[in-house]
Chain A
Amino acid sequence: MSGSLYVYWLIFALMMIGLYIVISHGNLVKKLIGLNIFQVSVFLLYISFGKVRDGSAPIVKEGIDTYSHPLPHVLILTAIVVGVATTALGLALVVRIFEAYGSLEEDLLHERDAASGVDGPS
Chain B
Amino acid sequence: MSMFVLMNLTLFGILAATAVTISRLRALYEATMLTALFSLVSASLFVLMDAVDVAFTEAAVGVGISTVLFLGVLALTRSREDVTPRIRQWPARVVVLLAGGMLVYASQDLPRFEGATTPVQVHPVTDVYLRESQDDIGVPNTVTSVLASYRAHDTLGELVVIFTAGVAVLLLLASSPGPGRREEGEGPAELVLADYRVLRVISKLLLPFILLFAFYVLFHGEYGPGGGFQAGVIFAAGFVLYGLVFGVDGARRVLPRPLAWAMIPLGILLYVVLGLAGMLLGGEFLDFQGLRPGDPQAGQHLGILLVETSVGITVAGVMVAVFFSFASRRAAR
Q: Do chains A and B touch in the complex (CB under 8 A)?
A: yes
Interface on A for B, CB 8 Å cutoff? 1, 4-21, 23-27, 29-30, 32-34, 36-37, 40-41, 43-44, 47-53, 55-61, 66-78, 80-89, 91-96, 98-99, 103-105, 107-108
B289 within 8 A of A: no
Bound CA span A74–B58, Å: 13
Bound CA span A33–B301, Å: 39
The interface residues of chain B lying within 8 Å CB-to-CB of A96 are 172-173, 176
A51 CB to nearest B CB, Å? 4
B residues 56-89 near A (Cβ < 8 Å) are 57-58, 61-62, 65-66, 69-70, 72-74, 76-78, 81-82, 84-85, 88-89
A74-B146 CB under 8 A given contacts A19-B99, A24-B89, A56-B50: yes
| A9 adjacent to B39 (CB under 8 Å) | no
Please provide the 5 A-B residue pairs with the shortest distance between their CB atoms, ordered closest to farther: A85-B165, A24-B92, A23-B92, A68-B50, A27-B81
| A95 adjacent to B84 (CB under 8 Å) | no
A20-B96 CB under 8 A given contacts A8-B107, A95-B326: yes
| A37 adjacent to B142 (CB under 8 Å) | no
A51-B50, A76-B54 given; name 8 further pairs at CB < 8 Å.
A6-B113, A15-B99, A19-B96, A36-B39, A43-B54, A58-B129, A71-B146, A72-B51
| B92 adjacent to A8 (CB under 8 Å) | no
| B42 adjacent to A40 (CB under 8 Å) | yes
Bound CA span A9–B239, Å: 40
| B82 adjacent to A36 (CB under 8 Å) | no
Contact among A5, A33, A76, A91 for B51, CB-based, below 8 A = A76
| A98 adjacent to B45 (CB under 8 Å) | no
Which single residue of chain A is at the shortest CB-CB distance from B23?
A21
Which stretch of B156-164, B252-260, B278-286 is in the interface? Answer: B156-164
The interface residues of chain A lying within 8 Å CB-to-CB of B248 are none
B38 within 8 A of A: yes
B interface size (C-beta, 8 A)? 102
The interface residues of chain A lying within 8 Å CB-to-CB of B58 are 40, 43, 80
Bound CA span A58–B108, Å: 28
B residues 299-333 near A (Cβ < 8 Å) are 315, 322, 325-326, 329
| B114 adjacent to A57 (CB under 8 Å) | no
A104-B77 CB under 8 A given contacts A37-B35, A47-B49, A59-B141: yes
* Between-chain CB contacts (< 8 Å), 6 pairs: A4-B113, A30-B31, A53-B114, A59-B142, A77-B53, A104-B78
| B49 adjacent to A89 (CB under 8 Å) | no
The interface residues of chain B lying within 8 Å CB-to-CB of A76 are 51, 54
| A88 adjacent to B114 (CB under 8 Å) | no
The interface residues of chain B lying within 8 Å CB-to-CB of A47 are 45-46, 49, 51, 54
Residue interface mask B1-26, A partner, CB < 8 A = 1: 00000001100100110011011000
Most chain B Cβ neighbours within 10 Å, of A19, A83, A91, A93: A91
| A74 adjacent to B50 (CB under 8 Å) | no
| B23 adjacent to A20 (CB under 8 Å) | yes
Contact among A1, A18, A25, A104 for B19, CB-based, below 8 A = A18
B128 CB to nearest A CB, Å? 10
Which single residue of chain A is at the shortest CB-CB distance from B230?
A77
Residue interface mask B93-132, A partner, CB < 8 A = 1: 1011001100110011011111110101100011001100
| B49 adjacent to A71 (CB under 8 Å) | no
Which single residue of chain B is at the shortest CB-CB distance from A68?
B50
Which stretch of B147-155, B184-192, B203-211 is in the interface? Answer: B147-155
The interface residues of chain B lying within 8 Å CB-to-CB of A41 are 42
The interface residues of chain A lying within 8 Å CB-to-CB of B110 are 5, 8
